[in-house]
Structure 1
Amino acid sequence: MRLALAQLNPLVGDLSGNTRSILKACEHAEAGKADLLLTPELSLWGYPPRDLLLQPERLHQQQSVLDQICRELDSLHSDLTVLVGAAIAIEDDRQPGLHNTIVQVTRSGWQPVAHKQLLPNYDVFDERRYFRPGDGSSSLVLSNGLRLGLTICEDLWVDTELQRERLSGPDPVAALIDDVPDLLINLAASPFDASKPSLRRQLAARAALRLNCPIVYLNQVGGNDELIFDGGSFLLDHKGDCLLQMPYCQEWFEIWDSKPSHQPALSMPPPDTRDLLFRTLVLGVRDYSSKCGFQKALLGLSGGIDSALVAVIATAALGPDAITTLLMPSPWSSNGSIEDATSLANRLGIASQTVPIASLMQSFGSSLAPALDGEPQGVTAENLQSRIRGTLLMAVANQQGQLLLTTGNKSELAVGYCTLYGDMNGGLAVIGDLYKTTVFALCDWLDSDDSSCCRADFGLLHQGELVGEAIRTKPPSAELRPDQKDSDSLPDYGELDALLRLLIEERRTGEALVAAGFAPELVERVETMLRRAEFKRRQSPPLLKVSPQAFGTGWRLPIAAA
């Protein structure tokens, strides 16, 4: 059998455009004399379509585009079988009224052949809002007699020894044992986090061993709002050894031939986590910009490490000609920070403009003096600087039609070390799911020889350090008052981030952290800051999710709570 795999990057809700991508893959598959073409989970819709699934006119359009694929295959006189992901209505009056389905499409027609059995309803997933689970195993026998076992994404996640969460419900892999499939197929839309590439491979290998057959894992690729799908599709033999590995973070089409019968296993070392994290963030910025209709982006450049990393990611995503930076020095901005910001812009080849804010600070201060019985002081004065900068950035972005990128990190967002309507202004929080220590580690890697191939792939051709040692080694500071350091207000980032990971990603209690050896006063302080900052996070721009638990749609804590 010649098997075609289309690792597609859909636009959510664009059934016509996504169908065109599938038809293009059909043409490639036909040219390559493939027997079967696979596309990812919900490939007609893009994942996740959310409440677009509740619009009857889109469901009606789905019927039309499936018919269109049939007609196109017929016009090609093609015997190709295509598996596409669709949302198929259930013929009764109960809700939810859809199945997450694999549809078999040929020149003679289309029919549903498998329904997703395990519907994730945790973190960012809420499939039970839209879908009903399928019932029973799903096999498909092709005209050549080959029997395919069909599963959809979460249906493969049934190994309690490997995974963090196992949904209650059936074991779709075990249900296929009696069918004795010749090939197991998993069509997926699995978003990125750093643990996923290895975990997917392990889960697939276990399934291959249980069924004693090869397995194809085909994943969606691309950024859809906060979620980034890293692709990385693969094919394993019956022993769990890799026969085919597709690229990460890019659309890809591949044809695999099961002959000769002995396919040598590939030596596939795990991808470098820093390389894959950078590529994922670049993909997230590129797709969020293009899918939302932006061609250019703007950010404030301070000379600090956070804005430096965002500038590098944005340049890699959109190209230097599409990036503008604003330097907005105050009387408290150090000469070193201004020089560092300017030097970074020059290394990246991006435009930079300087708009000093000292006169605006004076004007705001004198205007507020009557209402405050004196000029703003303390945190009020510091926040006012941030809000002046946020207003300037929004004005420039509005005037020039740019996407404003915020530059705050996850550590700051966690403890509220950020200003509403100030540095939180923007359309996308690029590194809002990166702890400060991860920001430093990623910048260190970018300035090392290990990143040379990745930098070259994105046209970051400056010789030598990109971020720069001066930026990487200076003590973090918001520079909102003389000689200010982050350490004046926050614990050391190494200690803070270790606590935050346990509180956020593992949902550990303060008592458990104290029992684990953390100082009680530190735990209480960080817990309090995390809880009190919830109202800020609720008003923050969407962020790019790259961890198991981000401050996005999967974080659902109340604001007014004990």
Structure 2
Amino acid sequence: MDRAIKHLRVALGQVNVTVGDLEGNVSKILNYTSRARDMEAHVVAFPELAIPGYPPEDLLLKPQFIEENLEALHYLASRVEGITVVVGFVDAQDDIFNAAAIIHDRKIRGIYRKIFLPNYGVFDEDRYFQQGKETPVFVINGTVVGVNICEDIWYAEGPTLAQCLGGGAEVIINISSSPFHAGKRAFRERMLSVRASDNCAIVAHTNLVGGQDELVFDGASMVFDESGHLLVQAKIFQEDLLLVDLDVESVFRTRLHDPRRRKEKLSFPTQVPIIHVSEPSPSPLPSLEKRETREILSREEEITRALIVGTRDYIRKNGFQKVVIGLSGGIDSSLVAAIAVEALGPENVIGVLMPSQYTSQASITDALDLAKNLGIKTYTLSIQKIFDDCREELQKEVFKGLEEDVTEENIQARIRGNFLMAMSNKFGWIVLATGNKSEMSCGYATLYGD
């Protein structure tokens, strides 16, 4: 009997979701699912905890939120037809789990629960979740697919190995919410390449994109063939629907030449649950439009895009429209203003000049030129009278006979801070700070100042 030729069209839904916005997140997932189905994908995968948003943090301590997240999952499942969906959610048994649901034709066919829970840096998953124990595989369109979550794939002897050796997985779908830092994407790419080649399996990695509070996610979802070669990468710092046709037969051909795998498979102790999700579709699919393998960014452009996305999403997801910035004419406030304009548009950025007797004319000119070049509205509010009144009152008795020093400089900064916060309170604008990283690291700033 001839072997059936296996083919699998995978879509990666690289979406920007919002923590707690269950309705909005599900609506976006359904939209991307519909688009993937229209493009004849067999399976579409969404990021880790895409339904509740990542990271949900102390919302996970609220039973009502857990229940509403489950209701959102079941509503989503009821709307899925003609395609398999892999999506992150919070599962609840006697404890809660960081989990992935595998949905097909209005039913939840299986669940994978994350095993490796990171508890370092920005991660705090041990505090909230119980770890999973099983490493099931799922037969989707006749292809054996292992599903795991983010940190799971970083471990060479983790779930990916169990799914490939114990379950015969030919494709690994890893759903992730991996935060950005400079240089991490290259490190992640090397790791995924090694994981694909070591397991002689295709690896499809879908990553979250966008900003959430202090975190930024860069997207750049990737697919690697069984030899570890990058097939295609999604957009960086943008939402994207990445589709790729996988040559699953190539996995079989490559494994025929791998005696190491045969020996490891014989001695592998774990038996893996196999869950049938969908039958193979007989008809060949029309070819996909070819797209560039990857986008290359310089370090400076990468960091700039991260700052723009992080600023835009922090403002929008917290319900603000406009920002206000104190403009000095210096590098720091100029850079913040330029990032804000890129993130929000010039109509949503207000610059405020607050000169005193120590402000040079060149600083005022530079700030006004910047505002003109960026196309933003400005206000000029002199702080001189208020500063003189403060200094005069203090010199009557408290500071009498003392030389002026950094104290008076800090008074100016606090007056400016009061002006900016007053405008924020009055108009509902959010104040963007203009300190730089070196100053923050050294503590060189005025408490309650601008």
Give the TM-score taking structure 1 as reference length: 0.69
Match among 39, 49, 61 for residue 54 of structure 1: 61
Q: Deviations over 1:138-186 (max 9, x none)?
A: 32222x3211122211112226xxxxxxxxxx62233234123111111
**What SS class does the counterpart of residue 159 from structure 2 fall into?**
coil
Rounded Cα–Cα distance in structure 2 between residues aligned with 1:338 and 1:32: 55
Q: How does 1:195-206 map to 2 (within 5 A)?
A: 195-206=183-194
Aligned counterpart, 2:418? 391
Q: CA deviation at 1:32?
A: 1.2
**What SS class does the counterpart of residue 122 from structure 2 fall into?**
coil
Q: Which runs of 5+ in 2 are unaligned?
A: 1-7, 251-287
Work out whether 1:344 is the aligned partner of 2:332: no
Work out whether 1:239 is the aligned partner of 2:227: yes
Q: How does 1:492-511 map to 2 (within 5 A)?
A: none
Aligned counterpart, 1:129? 127
Aligned counterpart, 2:115? 117
Aligned AA (2:43):
L
Rounded Cα–Cα distance in structure 2 between residues aligned with 1:174 and 1:272: 34
Aligned counterpart, 2:84? 81
Q: CA deviation at 1:266?
A: 6.4
Contact preservation (8 Å) 2:11, 2:244: yes
Aligned AA (2:321):
Q
Aligned counterpart, 1:152? 149
**What SS class does the counterpart of residue 382 from structure 1 fall into?**
helix
Work out whether 1:276 is the aligned partner of 2:327: no
Rounded Cα–Cα distance in structure 2 between residues aligned with 1:214 and 1:24: 26
**What SS class does the counterpart of residue 337 from structure 1 fall into?**
helix
Q: Deviations over 1:444-489 (max 9, x none)?
A: xxxxxxxxxxxxxxxxxxxxxxxxxxxxxxxxxxxxxxxxxxxxxx
Rounded Cα–Cα distance in structure 2 between residues aligned with 1:187 and 1:333: 53
Rounded Cα–Cα distance in structure 2 between residues aligned with 1:336 and 1:108: 66
Q: Which has the higher contact order (CA 8 A, sep 6+)?
A: 2
Contact preservation (8 Å) 2:101, 2:108: yes
Aligned AA (1:310):
V
**What SS class does the counterpart of residue 54 from structure 2 fall into?**
coil
Greater Cα shift, 60-69 or 3-12: 60-69
Rounded Cα–Cα distance in structure 2 between residues aligned with 1:337 and 1:360: 20
Q: How does 1:26-425 map to 2 (within 5 A)?
A: 26-73=33-80, 78-91=81-94, 97-142=95-140, 144-158=141-155, 171-178=158-165, 179-258=167-246, 268=294, 270-374=296-400, 377-423=404-450
Contact preservation (8 Å) 2:164, 2:201: no
Contact preservation (8 Å) 1:2, 1:257: yes
Q: CA deviation at 1:197?
A: 1.0
Query: Cα RMSD between the aligned structures?
Result: 2.0
Q: CA deviation at 1:275?
A: 1.0
**What SS class does the counterpart of residue 46 from structure 1 fall into?**
coil
Contact preservation (8 Å) 1:180, 1:211: no
Rounded Cα–Cα distance in structure 1 between residues aligned with 2:326 and 2:249: 57
**What SS class does the counterpart of residue 310 from structure 1 fall into?**
helix
Contact preservation (8 Å) 2:70, 2:90: no
Q: Deviations over 1:284-321 (max 9, x none)?
A: 11111111111111000101101111000000000001
**What SS class does the counterpart of residue 62 from structure 1 fall into?**
helix
**What SS class does the counterpart of residue 449 from structure 2 fall into?**
coil
Q: Deviations over 1:196-242 (max 9, x none)?
A: 11011001000001111111110001110000111111111111112
Q: Deviations over 1:433-454 (max 9, x none)?
A: xxxxxxxxxxxxxxxxxxxxxx
Q: CA deviation at 1:260?
A: 10
Aligned residues: 403
Q: Which runs of 5+ in 1 are unaligned?
A: 92-96, 160-169, 424-562
Rounded Cα–Cα distance in structure 2 between residues aligned with 1:390 and 1:382: 13
Give the TM-score taking structure 2 as reference length: 0.86
Rounded Cα–Cα distance in structure 2 between residues aligned with 1:53 and 1:412: 35
Q: CA deviation at 1:368?
A: 2.2
Q: CA deviation at 1:113?
A: 2.3
Q: CA deviation at 1:29?
A: 1.7
Cα separation, partners in 2 of 1:21 and 1:404, compared to 1, 3 Å: same
Task: Report which of the two structures shows the higher radius of gyration computed on alpha carbons.
Answer: 2
**What SS class does the counterpart of residue 372 from structure 1 fall into?**
coil
Rounded Cα–Cα distance in structure 1 between residues aligned with 2:111 and 2:35: 24
Q: CA deviation at 1:383?
A: 0.7
Rounded Cα–Cα distance in structure 1 between residues aligned with 2:417 and 2:21: 34
Q: CA deviation at 1:98?
A: 1.1
Cα separation, partners in 2 of 1:417 and 1:206, compared to 1, 3 Å: same
**What SS class does the counterpart of residue 138 from structure 2 fall into?**
strand
Aligned counterpart, 1:473? none
Structure with greater strand percent:
2
Rounded Cα–Cα distance in structure 1 between residues aligned with 2:158 and 2:149: 12
Contact preservation (8 Å) 1:242, 1:266: no
Q: How does 1:438-517 map to 2 (within 5 A)?
A: none
**What SS class does the counterpart of residue 217 from structure 2 fall into?**
strand
Q: Deviations over 1:317-367 (max 9, x none)?
A: 000011100011111112211111111111111111111211111011122
